[in-house]
């Protein structure tokens, strides 16, 4: 068995966060409870569907730092009818794409947490806008509230390092060949991503920036890049052309670029996890756009319950299964997180195939990974999605301590070996939905 290293890694959305989202994309406020973007859902929603009404269930989905397009959702639901659009022209929201990007740059890496006490559960829920999504940290002990400032510092620190779209980040500067020496953390994460490139034999590829930069799934009216641009861009998608030696990162040519959107959020979540544990936190839930870490167990010693989002269902209220456990991470990659419909009726989602430059085409709607380390869960969710069911199952079953749940486009649910022995897993009553369901 191949062993992955085991490095330890609400009810309300605040008005300030909602206003920020409204600035960034016209009708995004509605998406705060609707993920094709459940990452905007604060942890701890009360749900039904085979569960006791008093039980806390946290909705889980995946998100992306700074709008990366390689397997991580960025906190926005996009089901627009898309066509050609002048990026300088006002959109339906009255804001051009250029202006929206200027606002994203201005707001990036300046997160602060606003918190409140949930009157029903007695937990303390802090919310911040960072990594181009809503980030939520839930504490059970009032004394832990003092840690929110430090959590914001961590979010800002790593966004400044790892974002592809933030012009001053280490990754952006690497891609422009302005620097070659990077921080220990950036070098570590690039090497971490390259391991999954090797494991998947390139089905997952962090050297996809030439392609992902062509797609903007967060645009008010997203559009399909020109075929000739994609054809040119995929020539430069090749993780073999990326080399890390200590803190030095080099490339075989001037055109390869790195996009860590499919792994960075898990890494940042682990940094938050370590910070909380080092400061004595015994019980907490970290949700970075739905990339979840459940710290310890609940104060009474019971396990957490986490609902796996029903693809195309309403975030926080529609899920197809529940996983219960302690000290666990759950990350989901799904086609419903960010997608749009082109004028010819074709749907495009944000998980891109390195070999074609377009959305991955298979029979998968979502892949959820459950395991001890969020960085690995994050990378694995995209890796397995890109590999497909057969090869994805082979890979996950070769790894100790990590488990997968596939939700297929025909509604079938598949789980990897050992899941039900490692965690409590129960499927929930649900209605199978599809792309057109968001138009209901």
Q: What does the alpha-carbon distance between residue 93 and residue 334 come to, in Å, rounded to a whole number?
A: 26
The whole-angstrom separation of Cα 337 and Cα 341 is 13
Query: HSE-up of 67 (CA within 13 Å, CB side)?
Result: 19
Q: What is the pLDDT of residues 134-156, one digit of tens each?
A: 999 999 999 999 999 999 999 99
In this structure, what token pair is assigned to residue 20? 């920020």
**CATH code for residues 15-173+259-439:** 3.10.520.10
Q: Which residues of 16-35 are buried (b: 16+ CB within 10 A; e: fewer)?
A: ebbebbbbbbbebeebbbbb
Q: What is the pLDDT of residue 438?
A: 56
Sign of CA dihedral 317, 407, 65, 99: negative
Closest CA to 258 of 57, 18, 74, 65: 65
Q: Which is nearest to 337 in space by CA: 55, 72, 50, 120?
A: 72
Q: Say what the pLDDT of residue 316 is.
A: 73
What are the residue ranges spanned by the domains of the chain? 15-173+259-439
* pLDDT at site 314: 87
**Residue 9 DSSP code:** -
According to DSSP, the β-strands at 403-408 and 413-415 are antiparallel
Distance CA 151, CA 216 (A): 28
pLDDT at 331: 97
Q: Using alpha carbons only, how large is the chain's radius of gyration in Å?
A: 20
Cα 190-367-339 angle, rounded to 5 deg: 85
Residue 107 is predicted with a pLDDT of: 65
- The residue count of the chain comes to 440
Evaluate whether 287 touches 58 at the Cβ level (below 8 Å). Answer: yes
**Can you tell me the distance from the alpha carbon of 429 to that of 406, in angstroms, rounded to the nearest whole number?**
16
Low-confidence ranges of the chain (pLDDT < 50): 1-56, 60-90, 439-440
184-199 vs 148-162: helix crossing angle, rounded to 10: 70
Total Cβ atoms within 10 A of residue 81: 11
Tracing tokens 């390259």 back to the chain, one arrives at 194
């Amino acid at each position: 068995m191949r062993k992955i290293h085991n490095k330890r890694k609400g009810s309300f959305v605040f008005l300030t966060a909602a206003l920020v989202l409204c600035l960034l994309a016209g009708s995004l406020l509605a998406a705060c409870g609707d993920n094709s973007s459940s990452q905007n859902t604060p942890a701890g929603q009360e749900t039904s569907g085979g569960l006791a009404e008093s039980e806390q269930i946290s909705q889980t989905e995946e998100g992306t730092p700074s709008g990366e397009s390689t397997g991580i959702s960025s906190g926005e639901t996009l089901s627009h009818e898309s066509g050609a659009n002048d990026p300088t022209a006002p959109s339906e929201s009255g804001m051009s794409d250029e202006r929206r990007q200027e606002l994203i740059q201005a707001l990036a890496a300046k997160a602060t947490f606003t918190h409140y006490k949930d009157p029903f559960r007695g937990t303390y829920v802090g919310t911040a806008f960072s990594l181009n999504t809503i980030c939520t940290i839930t504490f059970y002990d009032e004394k832990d509230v003092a840690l929110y400032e430090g959590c914001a510092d961590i979010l800002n620190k790593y966004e400044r390092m790892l974002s592809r779209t933030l012009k001053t980040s280490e990754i952006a500067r690497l891609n422009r060949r302005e620097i070659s020496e990077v921080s220990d953390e950036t070098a570590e994460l690039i090497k971490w991503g390259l391991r999954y490139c090797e494991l998947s034999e390139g089905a997952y590829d962090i050297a996809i920036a030439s392609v992902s930069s062509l797609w903007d799934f967060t645009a008010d009216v997203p559009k399909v890049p020109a075929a000739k641009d994609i054809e040119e861009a995929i020539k430069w998608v090749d993780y073999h052309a990326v080399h890390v030696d200590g803190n030095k990162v080099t490339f075989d040519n001037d055109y390869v670029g790195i996009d860590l959107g499919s792994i960075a959020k898990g890494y940042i979540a682990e940094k938050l996890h370590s910070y909380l544990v080092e400061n004595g936190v015994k019980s907490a839930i970290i949700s970075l756009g739905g990339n979840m870490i459940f710290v310890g167990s609940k104060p009474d010693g019971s396990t957490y319950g986490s609902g796996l989002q029903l693809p195309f269902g309403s975030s926080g209220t529609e899920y197809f299964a529940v996983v219960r456990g302690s000290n666990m991470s759950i990350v989901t990659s799904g086609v419903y997180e960010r997608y749009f419909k082109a004028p010819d009726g074709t749907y495009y989602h944000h998980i891109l195939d390195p070999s074609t430059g377009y959305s991955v085409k298979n029979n998968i709607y979502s892949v959820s990974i459950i395991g001890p380390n969020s960085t690995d869960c994050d990378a694995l969710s995209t890796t397995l999605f890109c590999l497909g069911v057969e090869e994805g199952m082979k890979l996950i079953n070769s790894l100790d301590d990590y488990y997968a749940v596939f939700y297929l486009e025909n509604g079938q649910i598949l789980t990897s070996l050992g899941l039900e022995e490692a965690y409590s897993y129960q499927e929930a009553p649900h209605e199978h939905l599809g792309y057109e369901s968001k138009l209901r």
